[in-house]
């Protein structure tokens, strides 16, 4: 039987540093066994979408810059480290690192939150191309895009924790 504390302990970090999403999903009665990627993701995503814009903004701001200072300092969560490493963001040339740093700063200054993309299956070139395209979006479009990417990242992370179907 899944307990509240166990659920929050296990899934509280799926939405980057935002255990309130898992807390609300459990408290809403949206969690039942068997736990699968699809069922837990649906419950968590529903609570993320129901969160206020300010709360969703805090979730976005909890995400690290891609190839940014936390990565350099080795301070990423294990999930973020694995995701960024898989995309080659831990192996940037000095020129690529400078470009990521420059566009990270411009993006964050424009939108007020870091660039968020589900990097699994992407290359550093794919990510940079998305960066350069999305920086031209208006804030409303980019906020919605970033939120959709957060949900995609959550689904990928759940795939490391749960079976798809039981």
- Residues labelled catalytic: 63
Residues 30 and 129: their CA atoms lie apart, in Å, by 38
| Residue 56: both structure tokens together | 């969703």
Residues 7 and 47: their CA atoms lie apart, in Å, by 15
Residues 103 and 138: their CA atoms lie apart, in Å, by 16
Query: 72 φ, ψ to 5°?
Result: -60, -40
CA 153 to chain centre: 5
Residues 160 and 41: their CA atoms lie apart, in Å, by 12
- Contacts of residues 68-72 at CB distance under 8 Å and 24 or more positions apart, as own/partner, are 68/100, 68/101, 68/104, 68/114
């Amino acid at each position: 039987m899944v307990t509240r504390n166990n659920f929050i302990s296990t899934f509280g970090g799926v939405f980057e540093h935002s255990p309130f999403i898992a807390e609300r999903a459990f408290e809403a009665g949206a969690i039942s066994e068997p736990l699968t990627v699809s069922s837990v993701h649906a419950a968590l995503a529903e609570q993320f979408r129901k969160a206020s814009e300010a709360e969703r903004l805090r979730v976005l701001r909890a995400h690290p810059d891609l190839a940014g200072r936390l990565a350099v300092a080795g301070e990423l969560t294990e999930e973020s480290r694995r995701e960024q490493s898989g995309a080659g963001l831990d192996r940037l040339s000095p020129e690529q690192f400078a470009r990521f740093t420059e566009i990270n700063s411009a993006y964050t200054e424009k939108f007020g939150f870091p660039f968020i993309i589900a990097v699994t299956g992407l290359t550093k070139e794919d990510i940079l191309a998305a960066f350069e395209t999305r920086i031209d979006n208006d804030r409303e479009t980019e906020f919605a895009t970033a939120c959709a990417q957060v949900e995609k990242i959550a689904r990928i992370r759940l795939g490391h924790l749960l079976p798809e179907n039981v």
